[in-house]
A and B are shown apart, each in its own frame.
Chain A
Amino acid sequence: MSLLNRFLPGITIVVALLIWEFSTRYFGIKEFILPAPSVVLATAVTIAPELMRNMWATLSVLLVGYGLGVVLGIALAVLMIILPPVRRALYPLVVMSQTIPKIAIAPLLILWFGVGPEPKVFIIALLAFFPVLVNTVAGLEGTDRGHLELMRSVNANLWKVYRHVRLPAAVPQIFAGLKLALTVSVIGAVVGEWVVGNQGLGYLLLAYNSSLLTANVFATLLLIILISAVLFYSITRIERVFSWRARLDS
Chain B
Amino acid sequence: MTADNKSIVGQNLNLIYRRAGAEPVAALQDVSFTIEDGQFISLIGPSGCGKTTLLKIFGDLLVPTSGQLTINGEPPSVLRRRQAIGQMFQDATLLPWKTIGQNIALLGEIASRKPPPHEVAALANMVGIGRFIDNYPHELSGGMRQRAALARAYALKPRILLMDEPFGALDEITREHMNDELVRIWTKSRLTVIFVTHSIAEAAYLSDRVLVMAPRPGRVVAEISIDMPREQRPAERFGPELTRCAEEIHHHLVTNMQLGNENEPA
Q: Spell out A's residues near B (CB within 8 Å).
A: 144, 146-147, 149-156, 160, 164-165, 168-169, 171, 244, 248
Which residues of chain A come closer than 8 Å to B83, judged between CB atoms? 154-155
Whether A160 and B110, one on each chain, are in contact in the complex, defined by CB atoms closer than 8 angstroms, is yes
Q: B178 within 8 Å of A by Cβ?
A: no
Which residues of chain A come closer than 8 Å to B59, judged between CB atoms? 153
Q: B132 within 8 Å of A by Cβ?
A: no
Whether B93 and A144, one on each chain, are in contact in the complex, defined by CB atoms closer than 8 angstroms, is yes
10 chain-A/chain-B pairs, Cβ below 8 angstroms: A146-B91, A147-B95, A149-B61, A154-B83, A154-B85, A154-B107, A164-B109, A169-B97, A244-B96, A248-B96
Main SS at interface, chain B: loop
Which residues of chain B come closer than 8 Å to A152, judged between CB atoms? 61
Q: Tally of A-B residue pairs with Cβ under 8 A?
A: 47
Whether A168 and B89, one on each chain, are in contact in the complex, defined by CB atoms closer than 8 angstroms, is no
Closest to A242 in B: B97
The number of chain B residues with a CB under 8 A from chain A is 21
Closest to A148 in B: B93
Given known A-B contacts A155-B80, A155-B81, A248-B138, A150 and B87 have beta carbons under 8 A apart: yes
Extra inter-chain contacts (12) besides given A146-B89, A150-B93, A244-B96, CB under 8 Å: A146-B91, A147-B93, A149-B93, A150-B87, A153-B80, A154-B107, A154-B110, A154-B156, A155-B83, A164-B106, A248-B96, A248-B138
> How far does the alpha carbon of A73 sit from the alpha carbon of B31 in the complex, in Å?
49
Query: Which residue in A153, A156, A168 is a CB contact (below 8 Å) of B97?
Result: A168
Closest to A165 in B: B95
Given known A-B contacts A164-B95, A165-B95, A151 and B110 have beta carbons under 8 A apart: yes
Closest to A147 in B: B93
> How far does the alpha carbon of A149 sit from the alpha carbon of B56 in the complex, in Å?
10
Candidate in A150, A152, A171 with the most chain B CB atoms within 10 angstroms: A150
Distance between A171 CB and nearest chain B CB, rounded to angstroms: 8
Which residues of chain A come closer than 8 Å to B95, judged between CB atoms? 147, 164-165, 168
